[in-house]
Amino acid sequence: MSGADEILFGSDPTPGIVAVEAAGDVVRLYQRVDGNIVTQTRPLRRWMLTTERHPFDEARWTQLEGEGFRWLAEFASRDAYESARYFIRDAHAESISYPSAVRQYLIRSGQTLFKGMSFDDPIRMQIDIETLGLNPEPAHNAVIMVAVSDNRGLETIIEGDESSILKQLVALVRERDPDIIEGHNIYGFDLPYLACRAKLHGIRLALGRDGSEAAFGSQLNCMIGYFARPYVPVHIEGRHVIDTMLAVQRFDVGRGELSSHGLKTVAKALGISQEDREVIPHNRIAHEWKHNPDRVRKYALQDVRETRSLAALVCPPEFYLTQMVPDTYARTATSGTGEKINYIFIREYLRRGHAIPKPSPPKPLPGGYTEVRATGVIRPIVKCDVESLYPSLMLTRRIKPASDTLNVFLPALEELTKRRFEAKRKAKELLTATESETASQCKQEAAYWDGLQSSFKILINSFYGYLGGPFNFNDYDAAAQVTTGGQEIVKRIVAELERTGSRVVEIDTDGVYFQPPAGTETEEAEIEYVDRVGRTLPEGIRLAHDGRYRAMISLKMKNYVLEKYSGEKVFKGSALRSRADEAFGLDFISRAADFLLEGEPKKAAELYRSIARRIESGAMRIDEFARRERVTEKTYTSSGKKRLAKAAGQSKVGDYITIYQRADGSIALAKDYDNDEDREYLLEKLYKFALRLKEAFGDDFDALFPRSKARSRIEAAGQQSLELFD
């Protein structure tokens, strides 16, 4: 292995390790060899890093080269390690230590999981349960069916009495021996439900490779972009539990294209849903099971098929990252990218016997260059962007952390970039294979290379964030150099676009939407034009044609509608698409956008009035104006959420509830609707939905979308008419 390879993948090339488990003072390695599982044990020496030597009993101390965390304490027993941790905590001393013994072992050993394996080499099993209720505690809310599939051809339904179902599931898992168990909301529903029902029957949910039961940990956060979603991890000895609901949220964070992360909605949106897909509301499962059980069986099998397809689509990047990051697959799939880079760097510094620096204190950073220069309906539109702008700047200008004395940062970034371009090239070549006898194999190989390049991309794009984050090798001055350099590059692009006759619409950090100059009408002409603009940039900075659109509705920064030449519309920004919005509002925005793109703004006004009349007359259905709300800790602690807390009742933190506002101003659950909605509130909401498109309608907005009068004031004034508008 080269030096850069050792940095990225660890120094130990052992292939096929599918799991590592701590067992007292040893670790148990599960390795796939010729398709079979081989188990071996290795000694486990827990460790921590400190800034000074402490009087720990049974610690073996090593002084590392350099400053910062320069004392390495290693412990032969877990008790000695835990005693040292308590000492550090009580002394308020600085240290680096990890509760996860598996992570500690992987960092020090240089091993990683799944080396030499493609995504489908491990056995992946999917599980979905059907139940008579959503709460597993009442005795009557039994599990009536479990659908199970895997990537080795298994598809089956487990049925019978509940006790038998649970025992059959345990036996099947032990027989098929999966390395990975996947499920959609498996952390939040399937496994907790199964565990509760097993406990009621006195059955051990012994799904582990060593015969141990599934164990539930303390609440952790899954990092989804800049947001953290709480979840309770489930540990199954020797196996990885992957929740595809969290995975698809991470997949969608940069796209924002999914209206919901429920399995059926996601499968349909991503084109993996079957044409004859059964959809059964949960409150109808019991009825269908009694009167049409085959329909429920089909529904359950389609759930696991879609979960298997969804995992194959959204999980490979995290799987391949696990080949680099010294951690489990389940944690790699939920932790932040900055953490991953930090583990990689700490592993390499310890391998070389070097101290780990302390993080630099935070400083304010300049942001990227963002600006909206034109609003309204603009056509046609081209997007260009700089490929990996910030990583390219770090490489071309040799920007790295000052504390990286071993020069790990830039070689790692260079190797990732080189590998990504090579993986992209191979994926593209394989996808062009046309011979029928090799097309299927080429498609599989292309999926491997595409998953690999996506994993490289995740890390590459995180190197800048790492510089400006709370990590050991951070450097806020270096991060500032990157952002100011990025501003310079994008301003040069904008200037060149305008000099050559383009109309710049929106600038966002590393990309520009613009109306191309006259005569640039074909895609080939657009690509050639962007290439000419790119040739004016410094060496190592690549400008790419990143999309073409028939039209754009430009509203405000990062809020716009794009119309593709196929007719498909893409909505971007929380002003246009929010999962908390009522359905009638989203429908209004979508249809109003159609009218704008057709050049018929008055039809949007007619639509607005039509919806207002439906609200006023009480003709709107509850599903049109109810909205989905997630219950959080603030639901029950914030003084501003008292109405919501009352409606939530006994709902748990993390649950979703569907609510609406009553005429008396209270909040109620949609299931309790009694034709008592607050219509004045809904009229005001309609107006606010229209406001989101104000920039597109320009000076005509107020005339087209007059604000409704308060009905009570109309009646108080004794007016005969209940017209809504001036």
* Segments making up each domain of the chain, as ranges: 124-314, 370-563, 602-620+678-726, 624-676
462: nearest Cα among 370, 341, 364: 341
With 0-12 / 13-18 / 19 or more C-beta atoms within 10 angstroms meaning exposed / middle / buried, residue 520 is buried
Indicate the CATH number of 370-563 among 3.90.1600.10, 3.30.70.270, 3.30.70.1140, 2.30.30.100: 3.90.1600.10
Q: Residue for token digits 């069986």?
A: 297
Q: How far is the C-alpha of 251 from the C-alpha of 330, rounded, in Å?
A: 15
* Parallel, antiparallel or unpaired: strands 155-158 and 627-630: unpaired
pLDDT band at 433 (very low <50, low <70, confident <90, very high): low
Examine the pLDDT at 439 and tell me if it is beyond 90. no
Examine the pLDDT at 115 and tell me if it is beyond 50. yes
- 187 in Cβ contact with 243 (< 8 Å): yes
Q: How far is the C-alpha of 458 from the C-alpha of 297, rounded, in Å?
A: 38
Kindly state the percentage of the chain with pLDDT values over 90. 75
Least confident stretch, 155-169, 429-443, 614-628:
429-443
Examine the pLDDT at 726 and tell me if it is beyond 70. no
Whole-number pLDDT of residue 694: 94
Single-letter amino acid code for the residue at 286: A
Examine the pLDDT at 225 and tell me if it is beyond 80. no
Helices 244-252 and 293-314 cross at an angle (nearest 10°) of 50
Examine the pLDDT at 631 and tell me if it is beyond 90. no
Residues 6+ apart with CB under 8 A from 153: none
For residues 565-584, give the mean pLDDT.
86
Q: How far is the C-alpha of 620 from the C-alpha of 433, rounded, in Å?
A: 53
What digits encode the pLDDT tens for the residues 51-86?
Answer: 999 998 889 999 999 999 999 999 999 999 999 999
- 548 in Cβ contact with 565 (< 8 Å): yes
For residues 24-48, give the mean pLDDT.
95
- 105 in Cβ contact with 320 (< 8 Å): no
Whole-number pLDDT of residue 3: 82
Three state DSSP letters for 629-653: EECCHHHHHCHHHHHHHHHHCCCCC
- 427 in Cβ contact with 442 (< 8 Å): no
Least confident stretch, 100-109, 128-137, 254-263, 435-444:
435-444
Q: How far is the C-alpha of 306 from the C-alpha of 351, rounded, in Å?
A: 43
Task: Locate 693 and state its tokens.
Answer: 């498109």
Whole-number pLDDT of residue 449: 85
pLDDT band at 713 (very low <50, low <70, confident <90, very high): very low
CB atoms within 10 A of CB 476: 17
Report phi then psi at 665, rounded to 5. 90, -5
For residues 586-593, give the mean pLDDT.
95
- 482 in Cβ contact with 390 (< 8 Å): yes
DSSP labels for 603-629? HHHHHHHHHHHHHHHT-S-HHHH-EEE
Q: Which of 292-301, 428-437, 571-580 shows the highest mean pLDDT? A: 292-301
Whole-number pLDDT of residue 304: 97
Examine the pLDDT at 10 and tell me if it is beyond 80. yes
355: nearest Cα among 149, 71, 554: 71
Q: Residue for token digits 């190797």?
A: 415
Q: How far is the C-alpha of 468 from the C-alpha of 571, rounded, in Å?
A: 30
Beta bridge partners of 22: 27
pLDDT band at 97 (very low <50, low <70, confident <90, very high): very high
Examine the pLDDT at 252 and tell me if it is beyond 90. no
Kindly state the percentage of the chain with pLDDT values over 70. 95
Examine the pLDDT at 113 and tell me if it is beyond 90. yes
* Mean pLDDT across the chain: 91
Q: Residue for token digits 């009825």?
A: 287
CATH superfamily ID and name for 124-314: Ribonuclease H-like superfamily/Ribonuclease H (3.30.420.10)
- 661 in Cβ contact with 667 (< 8 Å): yes
For residues 171-188, give the mean pLDDT.
97
Task: Locate 142 and state its tokens.
Answer: 């039994």
Torsion of CA 500, 506, 508, 511, to 10 degrees: -40
Whole-number pLDDT of residue 725: 35
Q: How far is the C-alpha of 525 from the C-alpha of 105, rounded, in Å?
A: 55
Whole-number pLDDT of residue 438: 62
Examine the pLDDT at 717 and tell me if it is beyond 80. no
Whole-number pLDDT of residue 299: 94
Q: How far is the C-alpha of 120 from the C-alpha of 694, rounded, in Å?
A: 49
Report phi then psi at 535, rounded to 5. -70, -10
Q: How far is the C-alpha of 623 from the C-alpha of 664, rounded, in Å?
A: 20
455: nearest Cα among 423, 431, 414: 423
Q: How far is the C-alpha of 609 from the C-alpha of 80, rounded, in Å?
A: 73
pTM of the model: 0.86
Whole-number pLDDT of residue 638: 85
* Fold: same for 124-314 and 370-563: no
Residues, the chain = 726
Beta bridge partners of 32: 37
Whole-number pLDDT of residue 432: 73
pLDDT band at 683 (very low <50, low <70, confident <90, very high): very high
> 522-531 long-range contacts, Cβ below 8 Å, gap at least 24?
523/548, 526/382, 529/382, 529/500, 530/382, 530/384
pLDDT band at 1 (very low <50, low <70, confident <90, very high): low
Report phi then psi at 668, rounded to 5. -135, 160
What digits encode the pLDDT tens for the residues 494-550?
Answer: 999 999 999 999 999 999 999 999 999 999 999 999 999 999 999 999 999 999 999
Extended beta strands in 11-161, E state: 17-23, 26-33, 36-43, 46-50, 59-63, 71-75, 95-96, 124-131, 143-150, 155-158
